[in-house]
Structure 1
Amino acid sequence: MNHNTTNISAQKKLIVFLDCGDTIIDEGTEIRDDHDIVIQANVIPGADVMVKTLAERGYTLAIVADGNAQSFKNILTQNGLYDYFTTMVYSETVKASKPSPRMFKAAIGALDLSEQDCNRIVMVGNNLSRDVKGANQMGITSIFLSWTPRYPKLHADESEIPQYTISHPLELIDLVEQLNDKLA
């Protein structure tokens, strides 16, 4: 029997796109080198448990983040989270930044999905003007993580209104389960 078929049946229908800075990694703890590459940073309390739990429960996880690939590789590897993601899409390699549809389309393509799958994708991020607006314009469910004091918590216009708001990474686990159940 092919092991891949067993894996796919256990896989959840909902796909989770995650930003990295102030969504998984605490930007306030970043240490950068002379080339502005993040060489060290800590996870937001609970974010590592959130990532591992969602992955263990069969969710496909993707990083969709603005920044340099090497920064994310450094901090996600250091915090033991790198291998939990099926794909990682960075503005450096896509040559665009969120809210550009190119960022989301790159992640959708990397997962062998199509834009018809947007209704079963959630985008979780800390930035209303990038993560939420970008997800909303693609028809992806937007989840605003309002954990950080570093970014605005009030939307500039209707395009930045999140469908869901959570204040702590661990809240994402139950929300994702509820949204996945709605798809079933």
Structure 2
Amino acid sequence: MSRNLIIFTDSGDTIIDEGTQIFDERGIVVSADPIPGAGEVLRQLKEEGYRIALVADGAWESFQNVYRENGLADCFEEWIVSETVGEQKPARAMFDAAMEKMGLTEAHKSFIVMIGNNLSRDVAGANRYGITSVWLDWSPRYFHTPQEPDWQPDYRVKTPEELKLLIWQLEEGCGRKRELADRIACKGKQPFPI
């Protein structure tokens, strides 16, 4: 089943518990565990037909190692990694790369959510880009109070299970947007691009 909502997600302390990372001598993560429930939620969203892109800062090899080890590599339609993009979030280039790789246009922005643990990178980047920001406030490692106006998330959840429920609610809202757009298209207006 195809879904209306498109998911961009960070990795560290959003899906993978940074506290469990094991590094090699080059600084590459060779092993790490998902945060409780995150692997199951990611797999379920993929199986339910959501298009999911990894949009994360770090080394390509680290993400490959961790997601293969945990049997989650196939959950992502695309992998947008700062090492290959050449910039880190909140840089626009990360989101531009995700849009391009996923074949998305400006018209899709109201259907995209960015999920992340970092207010200054994930949330600020999504807010500046004009997509919905979801803060997974699970980890004690980063800021917990917005220090800039664009660090304020659209939504805040504490666990992957809460995230799944939010995704379902947002999907329902996207379905209503899509129905409205389809009705407008039937009245001779420009067809909706999804």
> What corresponds to 1:180 in structure 2?
171
Once the two structures are superposed, residues 117-156 of structure 1 have per-residue CA deviations (whole angstroms, 9 ceiling, x without a partner) of 1110000000000000000011110000000000111011
Give 4+ residue runs of structure 1 displaced > 6 Å after superposition.
none
**Once the 2 structures are TM-superposed, how far is the Cα of residue 13 of structure 1 from its aligned partner?**
0.7
Q: Does 2:169 align with 1:168? A: no
Q: How do 1:94-133 and structure 2 match up within 5 A?
A: 94-133=85-124
**Once the 2 structures are TM-superposed, how far is the Cα of residue 108 of structure 1 from its aligned partner?**
0.8
Whose Rg is larger? 2
Once the two structures are superposed, residues 150-179 of structure 1 have per-residue CA deviations (whole angstroms, 9 ceiling, x without a partner) of 011101111100000000012111111111
CA distance in 2, matches of 1:183, 1:62: 18
CA RMSD of aligned residues (A): 0.6
> What corresponds to 2:138 in structure 1?
147
Q: Does 2:59 align with 1:77? A: no
Match of 1:23 among 14, 35, 60: 14
Query: Residue 88 of structure 1 aligns to a residue in which SS?
Result: strand
Residues 49, 170 of structure 1: 8 Å contact kept: no
Q: For structure 1, which runs of at least 5 residues remain unmatched after alignment?
A: 1-9
Q: For structure 2, which runs of at least 5 residues remain unmatched after alignment?
A: 176-194
Structure 1 length-normalised TM: 0.94
Report how many aligned residue pairs link the two structures.
Answer: 175
> What corresponds to 1:36 in structure 2?
27
Residues 16, 122 of structure 1: 8 Å contact kept: yes
Alignment identity in percent? 47
CA distance in 2, matches of 1:183, 1:41: 34
Structure 2 length-normalised TM: 0.89
